[in-house]
Amino acid sequence: MRTAFTPEQLADPQTAESQVEIRKCVHCGFCTATCPTYVLLGDERDSPRGRIELIRAMLEAARAPSKDTVTHIDRCLSCLACSTTCPSGVDYGQLIGHARAYVEANYRRPLPERLLRWALPHVLTRPRHLRFGLALGRAAQGLEPWLQRLRLTPLAVLLRLVPEARKAPRGVGTYPAVEDRRGRVILLQGCVEPAMAPQVREAAIRLLARAGYDVTLVAGEGCCGAISEHLGRADEARGLARRNLAAWAKAGPADAIITTAAGCGTTLKAYGHLLGSAGEGAAAQARDILEFLGEVGLPPIANPTGLAVAYHAPCSLQHGQQVKAVPARLLAEAGFEVREVPEGHLCCGSAGVYNVLQPELAGQLRDRKAANIARTGAAIVAAGNVGCMAQIAPAVSAAVVHPVELLDWATGGPRPEALDKRPMDHLSPRAGEDIA
């Protein structure tokens, strides 16, 4: 793709980097087949190559973007399925990140949008605020139909995502390896997952300790910065990243920085891009927990169940981190019958805060994902990202758990609580059979 940036514009390192990526695009169209919004809408402006053209024009013009341009940029899920299929190697994540930061700095949104975009990072990235908000949400869940009638759809969506109350997970400190110590890892605590699905952290600590690793939860750590990046608040994301680097440096050396939320992992691995050389060390150490277990091996299997599991691959894991085969392989090694979800490359619609900001499109993607999960006939869905778990659970009859919960169970841990709320007294039918 041709560009016409001025020398003055190219003096900005981010613009210069974006020009390199824009020029790689040859308009081949391979990306359109895997882009969720293009699949749904069929609008070229809602495809990756269409958005790249909009981004080019917006950056070259160097003025406030039009409402139409912002609409199509906002509709992007940042799922990065296009990067997986692009034969030219366009770093679309860099482009959409730059575009969102540019929009945030140069476009004035309507007041309701500004308030919502201010509230999301101030609530979601602060565990105390989020726990309080979830408590209010549980008390107000009966109001969801009224909010829909009042056209307050984002608030209705938030209520739908609120999980039942759970015991808070363990706090900062080091939890020792069970036996045959092999090393020490830092487990990213995250901000949303401890409030939404605290059982995932507990399962991860048990599983890693059983695999021979001391597990440290570091004091002073905070949000990875993913939510701020989704909202175009690049400076805020960099500040959060620097805070984490400082906290990890105080905690001392570790074999890896582990995350149980795939969305966080994608952001951690981009710390080098976000912070330059200061973030490269942490980025190199970052591992999704399934990726790490694929490298070091599972503890001995103590409870092979043979239960059928539909593995939902989070976009941030399969596209953002290019971790594809390992999660299903680990589940199979643990004794589960792993079933592939049709259209597994398409996003479920969670995508950070997308399901709140774009509830209609997110709802269509959720329903499409739920229908594909139902076709597997599996009674369990394994999803390695808390956003995916929250998005999918209300739409399916199967139990939705993190793969770590299943691997913990198979290697001697407790049965995941979510399985006790669904009928599990028989294996689900084979994929392709009637599941009326």
Q: What is the pLDDT of residues 222-250, one digit of tens each?
A: 999 999 988 999 999 999 999 999 999 99
pLDDT at 323: 95
Query: 88: left (phi > 0), else alpha (psi -120 to 50), else beta?
Result: alpha
The tens digit of pLDDT for each residue in 379-419 reads 999 999 999 999 999 899 999 999 999 999 999 999 999 99
On whether the CB atoms of residues 256 and 186 are closer than 8 A, the answer is yes
| Angle, alpha carbons 279-354-136 (nearest 5°) | 100
Task: Note the pTM of the prediction, 2 decimals.
Answer: 0.89
pLDDT at 266: 95
Cα–Cα distance list, 433 to 330, 371, 428, 436 (Å):
26, 14, 10, 9
pLDDT at 163: 64
Instruction: Name the DSSP class of 252.
Output: -
pLDDT at 380: 97
Measuring CA to CA, which residue among 256, 396, 361, 417 is closest to residue 39? Answer: 361
Measuring CA to CA, which residue among 132, 162, 136, 158 is closest to residue 147? Answer: 158
pLDDT at 143: 65
Q: Which residues contact 301 (CB under 8 A, 6 or more apart)?
A: 333, 334, 335, 410, 411
Q: How long is the chain?
A: 436
pLDDT at 426: 41
- Which regions in the chain score pLDDT beneath 50? 425-436
Token pair 């299929």 is at which residue?
85
Measuring CA to CA, which residue among 294, 272, 292, 295 is closest to residue 282? Answer: 272
On whether the CB atoms of residues 73 and 55 are closer than 8 A, the answer is yes
What is the number of other CB atoms lying within 10 angstroms of the CB of residue 282?
20
Q: Are strands 256-259 and 286-288 parallel, antiparallel or unpaired?
A: parallel
Q: Print burial letters for 300-316: b (CB count within 10 Å at least 16), e (below 16).
A: eeeeebebbbbbbbbbb
DSSP one-letter string for 270-296: THHHHHTHHHHHHHHHEEEHHHHHHHH
pLDDT at 126: 81
Tell me how far the alpha carbon of residue 136 is from its chain's centroid: 24
**For residue 126, how many C-alpha atoms fall within 13 Å in the half-sphere facing its CB?**
9
What is the number of other CB atoms lying within 10 angstroms of the CB of residue 389?
27
Which domains, and CATH codes, for the chain?
A: 7-106 (1.10.1060.10), 112-161 (no CATH), 173-294 (3.40.50), 301-420 (3.40.50)
Measuring CA to CA, which residue among 268, 259, 257, 198 is closest to residue 226? Answer: 268
pLDDT at 169: 76
Q: Which two tokens stand for residue 207?
A: 């599983």
Element (H, E) at 86: none
The three-class DSSP label of residue 352 is coil
